[in-house]
Amino acid sequence: MNIVENFDLYAPRLVDKEEYFNAGHRACSGCGEALAIRLMCKALGEDTVIVNATGCMEVISVMYPTTAWSLPWIHVAFPNAASVGAGVEAALKVLRRKGKIADRRIKTVCIGGDGGTFDIGFQALSGTMERGHDVLYVCFDNEAYMNTGIQRSGATPFGASTTTNPAGAASQGKDEWKKNIAEIIASHNVPYVATACHSYPLDFMNKVKKAREVEGPSYIHCLSVCPTGWRVQTEDCIKAGRLAVETGVFPLYEIENGKYTMSSLNPEELRPVEDYLKLQGRFRHLTTDSIEKIQDRIILENNKLLDKAENLHSWAELEG
Ligand SMILES: Cc1ncc(C[n+]2csc(CCOP(=O)(O)OP(=O)(O)O)c2C)c(N)n1
């Protein structure tokens, strides 16, 4: 990686020192999602309204009478963060038009877990994206309904053991593949979609900043490591996120007005998926056959993605 050419990604002075998601919340130790929220808030700045679907981040951040948030924040039901976001955005527009608030851009940002995004909040999300609201939706994907006890979601990967599909004599964990939510949102013809992970903080923050500037709907899918649900050592949170990218389990890319661009942090060559799986207790039971099946699927999915990306036609073409 050329640090000079990629100065924007590496310059530490670009990180805002101000905290909008403060210490003292009740997230599990090593929580990737809490770290990602903190980084997201720094990139968004103070002119932001957060609409938070029920989930871990709501539960851990607002233990009455305290709050970790230094931004206007509203908690909404599990299924409707995107609808409430659309309402907030419309209300801000009217208030500005009537001169009741300052004439400057305030961004509405909806946040939800994978359960609240892939599954139960999907209808609201799809509507908000399709209607073209000026809303950024960030999904913090920890790959299960974590706050209620690690139940499987549409985001849980094939083979993972959860409390609703526990691995055992009769089961190898989840039998279905993960939904490709970034593709589904991109099919709504929104101006900006990106994948990101807290293990690459500046890349994530740059994508948030970019999405903030979009006039219209935008979506960021942030892989968020959950040491509790993934059965990962807390000190391995960042490592697990990096391995997801290095093995091609979670490629980093952007879709701007339909144009795919692979992010420069993807690896030159994919590592074997086993490196990623063996770090996590939720995959401990997998047989060699299942691991091979997962590996084949990763190659298939990554090739499909590379075919769409205009800046890259093989992993080997990436700059070191
Ligand atoms: C309509 C409805 N169904 C179920 C629940 C219970 N519930 C609250 S949070 C949650 C899981 C949230 O999972 P996810 O969106 O993945 O976020 P995470 O907790 O993993 O951050 C569930 C099932 C609820 N509050 N409302």
Give residue limits of the domains in the chain.
Answer: 20-317
Ligand 1 atom with minimal separation from the 155 CA: 16
CA-proximal residue: ligand 1, atom 21 (nearest): 56
Q: Which of 14-23, 174-183, 189-198 has the lowest mean pLDDT?
A: 14-23
Question: Architecture of 20-317 per CATH?
Answer: 3-Layer(aba) Sandwich (3.40)
Closest CA to 247 of 285, 283, 281, 274: 274
Ligand 1: residue of 31, 148, 179, 198 to mutate (most ligand atoms within 8 A of CB) is: 148
* 284-303 residue pLDDT tens: 999 999 999 999 999 999 99
DSSP string, 247-308: TTSS--EEEETTEEEE-TTS-SSPPPHHHHHTT-GGGTT--HHHHHHHHHHHHHHHHHHHHH
Higher pLDDT, 313 or 207: 207
Say whether pLDDT at 223 is over 50: yes
Ligand 1 atom with minimal separation from the 119 CA: 15
Q: How far is CA 9 from the centre of its chain?
A: 18
CA-proximal residue: ligand 1, atom 20 (nearest): 146
Q: Is the CB of 260 under 6 A from ligand 1?
A: no
Closest CA to 112 of 79, 90, 88, 68: 79
* 233-255 residue pLDDT tens: 999 999 999 999 999 999 999 99
Closest CA to 158 of 170, 147, 168, 171: 171
* 32-56 residue pLDDT tens: 999 999 999 999 999 999 999 999 9
Say whether pLDDT at 86 is over 70: yes
Q: Is the CB of 115 under 6 A from ligand 1?
A: yes
d(CA 142, CA 56): 10
pLDDT at 320: 42
d(CA 103, CA 150): 44
Q: Is the CB of 56 under 6 A from ligand 1?
A: yes
Strand order in the sheet with 48-53: 73-76, 48-53, 107-113, 135-141, 218-223, 192-197, 253-256, 259-262
Across 167-195, average pLDDT? 97
Query: 73 falls in which pLDDT band (50, 70, 90)?
Result: very high
